[in-house]
Chain A
């Protein structure tokens, strides 16, 4: 917050002659008078209430909400520190300045610990006005910060809600779209099969297009459903051994690996804290891509992991066709494709799924690549779950 803004506010309150409401916790009238004199001398317009007992203090802070509290440390029957405790118990934010006779270091530290903004010695009262100004400034900043935090929390909540709505919408929409689409797919297929060659050549071609389109849409909807399911609640996190997962994935991809002549190697792979199926999905999509977007040579794919703070940073590198740097962000957006369907099949959902999964666990995914010289996909996953929330992660 800029100092200029606060200065302006203080000036304005001076201009409108708004009096500074001071609550004095003081049992010595002479001392009280000295303080007020000091303030007036400095140009403060002050309206004062003096309290002597804890009960009175409590009532005044509830009813009058003063701008500032000036409290003596030794008050005969009680001590100014207790006033701090009452204030805290009431949850009221009013700056307190301890105004005391000689105060030892221990007592001073105790006051600040209990929430006093400052302390001023009675034989150094000249410092009081500045102490008050600075306390008010702090209070103002605190309330601005508090408000900003509140705004932010509300925005985050709104965003989370609208995200959840959107996910729910994608889920329901794609789920309900499947049913009528199934009819279109089945009946265009039936038409093509039964009437192939019985109509003219155009009819066969048209039916073929309609049927292909419907089937492609089916795959898209299936993928969209898979994508929207990632954020849903049912994927439980556990300790997942990536070595085992990667080996299972390689087994599942065995025929693709064999056909392409791909060689996949990996270093020692650690365990991460995430959902097993989703971790497998990330590795599978990245390895599949490395095979799909291969260059002229058979694919060489290597998987590595290194520790990065609380996370593991994995990399999947290949010797494929690479990616121009200007597309390095785009490729993670759902249904974004860089190649014609005929060139490389696919819907452009694989990397979007990877991104959504990795981000679900607070990780990040990115690519380091140049066209023609292979790609290195990197992503991070947490090395272990927060202990206090084990098993409770959504």
Chain B
């Protein structure tokens, strides 16, 4: 069996995080979901600062845009500015379907943009598809280098 993948979910809505975990529960990928609820926490975890010195660097970041303290685009910018963090694929996962948000996200190096579907089944299949795509088909950058 393949080793489990780590996903970092950055989202301030616990209900969405719970739905995301629901969607991934029982999947063959056995993804480990870690979540933080604001942009500052996200950067601390990714840089293994403060209480996160032993944190595992995620294989994939699922990033909401509307976040307290440091918003999603700022997190994205910070990640893409660092030589190590920039290789971690970032999926923007937001309710916004605004053209400007989509364009900005790609301009700043997002790997894809998925809007959160309003319907449960669509939400589940979006999350499952993200997992399936990144962990079944994609060659991720080697870990720990």
Residues of chain A in range 169-216 having any CB-CB distance to chain B below 8 Å:
178-179, 181-183, 185-187, 189-190, 193, 215
Question: Given that A179-B95, A183-B15 are contacting pairs, would A218 and B22 also be in contact in the complex, using a CB cutoff of 8 Å?
Answer: no
Task: Kindly list chain B residues whose C-beta atoms are within 8 Å of the C-beta of A181.
Answer: 118
Task: Assess whether B119 is in contact with A189, with CB atoms less than 8 Å apart.
Answer: yes
| Of the residues A178, A187, A215, A218, contact of B15 by C-beta under 8 Å | A187
B-side contacts of A187, CB under 8 Å: 15
CA distance in complex: A186, B15 (Å): 9
Which residue of chain A lies nearest to B121 when distances are taken between CB atoms in the complex? A189
Q: Shortest beta-carbon distance, A287 to chain B, in Å?
A: 26
Question: What residues on A are CB-neighbors of B15 within 8 Å?
Answer: 183, 186-187
Q: Which residues of A contact B95 (CB under 8 A)?
A: 178-179, 182
Could you say which of B19, B120, B123 has the most chain A C-beta atoms within 10 Å of its C-beta? Answer: B120
Q: Which residue of A lies closest to B95 (CB)?
A: A179
Are A182 and B22 in touch, CB under 8 angstroms? no
Question: B116 touches which one: A182, A190, A215, A218 (CB < 8 A)?
Answer: A182
Bound CA span A296–B22, Å: 47
CA separation between A187 and B116, bound complex, in Å? 14
Q: Are B119 and A215 in contact (CB under 8 A)?
A: yes
In the bound complex, how far is the Cα of B19 from the Cα of A183, in angstroms? Answer: 9
Question: Which residues of the partner chain B approach A190 to less than 8 Å between Cβ atoms?
Answer: 19, 22, 120
How far does the alpha carbon of A127 sit from the alpha carbon of B106 in the complex, in Å? Answer: 81
CB distance from A233 to the nearest CB of B (A): 13
CA distance A153 to B123 in the complex (A): 50
Closest CB of chain B to A313's CB: distance in Å? 34
A178 partner residues in chain B, CB cutoff 8 A? 95, 118
Minimal beta-carbon separation of B56 from chain A (angstroms): 29
- Tell me the chain B residues, 84-143 only, with Cβ under 8 Å from chain A: 95, 116, 118-121, 123
Chain B residue contacts of A218, Cβ below 8 A: 118-119
A187-B95 Cα distance, complex, nearest whole Å: 16
Nearest chain A CB to B6 CB, angstrom units: 25
- Bound complex: CA of A218 vs CA of B119, how far in Å? 9
A183: chain B residues within 8 A (beta carbon): 13, 15-16
Q: Which residue of B lies closest to A214 (CB)?
A: B118
Known contacts A182-B95, A186-B19, A187-B15; A193/B118 CB under 8 A: no
Closest residue of chain B to A234 (Cβ to Cβ) is: B99
Residues on B with C-beta less than 8 A from A179 are 95
Q: Are B118 and A185 in touch, CB under 8 angstroms?
A: yes
Instruction: Look across to chain A and name the residue whose beta carbon is closest to the beta carbon of B66.
Output: A179
Contacts of B123 in A (CB 8 A): 186
> Among A182, A183, A189, A218, which residue has the most Cβ atoms of chain B within 10 A?
A182
B95 to chain A, nearest CB (A): 6
CB distance from B100 to the nearest CB of A (A): 11
Q: Which residues of B contact A (CB under 8 A)?
A: 13, 15-16, 19, 22, 95, 116, 118-121, 123
Q: A residues touching B (Cβ–Cβ < 8 Å)?
A: 178-179, 181-183, 185-187, 189-190, 193, 215, 218
15 A/B residue pairs, CB under 8 Å, sorted by A: A178-B95, A181-B118, A182-B116, A182-B118, A183-B15, A183-B16, A185-B118, A185-B119, A186-B15, A186-B118, A186-B123, A189-B120, A189-B121, A190-B22, A215-B119
7 nearest interchain CB pairs?
Answer: A189-B120, A186-B120, A183-B15, A182-B118, A218-B118, A179-B95, A186-B19
